[in-house]
Structure 1
Amino acid sequence: MEEITNFISRIENETRKSDSFALLPFLERVSGYKPYLSGSIIGFGKYHYKYDSGREGDSAVISFSPRKQNLVVYIMPGFDKIEGLLQELGKHKLGKSCLYINKLSDIKLDVLEKIAKLSVQYMQQKYRCKNA
């Protein structure tokens, strides 16, 4: 945990830093997994994937990264089945599995919690997930 705290402490943008310190226990509680640092990504839980191509590896069940431009929460199943929740969330942008948030005060945390829980539940049903 000290490694993660040191990583977040080095973030220059004060809002991004405080939002990261808030997301850390939030995602730990919501996911039920302990956090770990992988490069610039803070992950919670792990699962093993294997594609039809034969490529395989391990990835986080849910994670976030405090980037210079925004916070990115990685919602692994994507967003196809949660469009209604996204409309309630507040100001955000989407990538394939990336939820881009400028600052936590732009969104409704209770809606983010629902999105995160659904994502974790989906991953747990599809994969054997475990703590890192």
Structure 2
Amino acid sequence: MKPTGDDVAGLIARSSPAIRRRDAETLTALMQEITGREPAVWGTIIGFGAVHYRYPTGTEGDSPVLGFAPRTAATTIYLFDGIDEHADVLSALGPHFTGVGCLYIKDLEQVDFDVLRAILERSLAWVEAGGSEQVQLTVTA
């Protein structure tokens, strides 16, 4: 995956319903603050920074350091370190559901923003530390 060069504001403006646009603007500001990186469109994802990943199997590629997608059903937040790494704080987050490496939030105003910030900061630190035995990470931007 690579940045497409598309306009971040345009992607947000095309997001539906309106709550996704509102949440996308909030998450863009938060992730930009946390990462110190500018947002870029990666397909349908708004990503910050870039990391090259490599699994022991030899599978490798590129991804944002932190990113999210304003999907119709919920905003999807991608966590490279996986959901299990945040099990200790997820119960305090508020309404959400999860996948293996995704956190889904329907309304950002209903979650504890400090808990969300802590999750994002912890995930960023894990990526910047180089990952784990399961995945080697090299931050490239």
CA distance in 2, matches of 1:100, 1:117: 17
Q: Decide whether the 8 Å contact of 1:89 with 1:112 is kept in 2.
A: yes
Sequence identity of aligned pairs in percent? Answer: 33
TM-score by length of 1: 0.92
Q: Partner of 1:89: helix, strand, or coil?
A: coil
The CA deviation at 1:81 is: 2.9
The CA deviation at 1:11 is: 1.7
Q: Decide whether the 8 Å contact of 2:83 with 2:103 is kept in 1.
A: no
The CA deviation at 1:2 is: 7.5
Structure 1: 5+ residue runs without aligned partners?
Answer: none
Q: Partner of 2:16: helix, strand, or coil?
A: coil
Q: Decide whether the 8 Å contact of 1:47 with 1:58 is kept in 2.
A: yes
TM-score by length of 2: 0.87
The structure that is helix-richer by fraction is 1
Establish whether residue 129 from structure 1 lines up as the match of residue 120 from structure 2: no
Amino acid at match of 1:84: D
Q: Partner of 1:120: helix, strand, or coil?
A: helix
Q: How many residues are aligned here?
A: 131
Q: What corresponds to 1:94 in structure 2?
A: 98
Q: Which moved more, 1:121-130 or 1:95-104?
A: 121-130
CA distance in 1, matches of 2:48, 2:6: 15
